[in-house]
Structure 1
């Protein structure tokens, strides 16, 4: 597998290795992927929890047009 990094990413990876936080670039990338997986899982769980709140909560009396109108007015302030 070949992976391309930006110059900024390469510099960051190199700095992590130079600082002694990791033994090589592969460790940095593996750690980043583990953290990304944890982060992504948390985001999905949080979104599911918010969706569940919406489904389980009270029904709104406002129409979609009312909600859009209120959001538009709020932005214009």
Structure 2
């Protein structure tokens, strides 16, 4: 596997290793991927909760077009 990083990302990874918190670059990347996975699962779970609220909530008299129009007016 070949992975490319920006200069800024490489510097961040190096700083993490230099801090002593990680032994090498791979540990930094593995930790970042673990945290990303946790974050994605939380986002998906939160979205499912909100979708469930919508499905189980009361019907609305407001149309999608009304919602879009009100958002455009707010901008």
User: Could you tell me the TM-score, scaled by structure 2's length?
Assistant: 0.93
What is the CA RMSD across the aligned residues, in angstroms? 0.9
**Deviation (angstroms), 1:7:** 0.5
Q: For 2:43 and 2:64, how far apart are their aligned partners in 1?
A: 26
2:61 matches 1:67: no
What pairs with 1:18-37 in structure 2 (closer than 5 Å)? 18-37=18-37
**Deviation (angstroms), 1:74:** 2.0
**Deviation (angstroms), 1:65:** 2.2
What whole-Å deviation, never above 9, does each CA across 1:47-77 have from its counterpart, x for those lacking one?
Answer: 11110000000000112222222222222xx
Matched residues, number: 75
